[in-house]
Amino acid sequence: MDKLRVNLGLDSYDIVFEESFAELPRAMSNINAPKKLLIVTDSNVLELYAKEVKELFTECGYDVKVCSFPAGEENKNMKTILGICNACVEHEMDRNSMIVALGGGVVGDMAGFAAAIYMRGIRFIQIPTTLLSQSDSSVGGKTGIDFKNGKNILGAFHQPKLVYINVSTLSTLSDIQFTSGMGEVIKHGIIKNREFFLFLRDNVTLVKSKNPYILIKMAKANCSIKAKVVEEDERENGLRAILNFGHTIGHAVEAAFDFKMTHGECVAIGMIGAGYIAYKRGLLSETRLDEIEGILELYGFCMRVNIPDIDKVYELMQKDKKKIDGVLKFILPIKVGEVVEVRDVTKDEIYSALSYISE
């Protein structure tokens, strides 16, 4: 097994990279997983992988039940969480039982949140099946649900005991969903590692063709960047805030469009907006702004979006959970591979950026 260790003391865990689910039972054995498991998934992944994963576990002597909910960001709410908890009760799960999150970011966020609150916290593992979840949401222990038009307003930090990445699941993704995931991957190169950024730029054809060798290499490098940030700042008290690059604007755009745009598309638009603010401040050269926009265009992102109501987007930004003491935090790039946090972005600068991305 190809593995990467996330070092968080007692909460440390491995990220496993494979081309199938074949090594999943051995990975579970390595963490001494309990015999009673609840697989949490959505209606899309239920048809694709739930049966295979359940049979693998059952053949190894696990007592497994599957809990699914309708796919979609609109179902990332407390009603669905209570449904998962109800399934835990019906399966007679105790504090030594384990939840298995099988699916994309919505599944992982909600399964993790349910695990964090059921009986004051039980163990869970992540088996991400989308590029977005494999590259970002499955690593780091952030769990949660949307609330009052705000993304991930309710939640908890709850680290998984294992992340099992099977890159073959990416073959079933639509081009739109694959592109969405690349938004977070590219983000990690921009904030922390120019070499990785250049790898993505130079291997765009192989990445988009979903070459398994390249996907595993990309996934391991990508997760290594995020893991190092999480190791230094597990609960986002400092450095980890750089992972929010593109999200301050991106989350607001996502909400303004009633989550009809993908998360990655919105993050990409947010990165362009943040890059523009940095450029106008003299922090980022025009050449580097073009470089950031260039790689996003290579991977098929829309460079601009028609925002019919800029005032609404600005209003939604004010509800962002990253707002501290009435001040919005922005992560701005100063070059590819380095960003800074600022807390003095003005309303005029935000409106200028929103106008720029909506041209």
Q: Just list the catalytic residues.
A: 120, 142, 184, 226, 236, 240, 244, 247, 251, 263
Q: What is the distance between the alpha carbons of residues 104 and 123, in angstroms, rounded to a whole number?
A: 19
Residues 6+ apart with CB under 8 A from 183: 132, 246, 263, 264, 265, 267, 268, 271, 296, 301
What tokens appear for 330 in the block?
């922005």
Contact 226, 243 (CB under 8 A): yes
Helices (H), ranges, the chain: 24-30, 43-45, 51-59, 78-90, 105-117, 131-132, 175-192, 194-202, 204-208, 212-232, 247-256, 263-280, 286-298, 310-317, 347-357
Q: Say how far residue 236 (Cα) sits from the centre of its chain.
A: 15
Residues 6+ apart with CB under 8 A from 92: 36
Q: What is the distance between the alpha carbons of residues 243 and 227, in angstroms, rounded to a whole number?
A: 11
DSSP code of 9? G
Q: For residue 255, count other CB atoms closer than 10 A to its CB.
A: 22
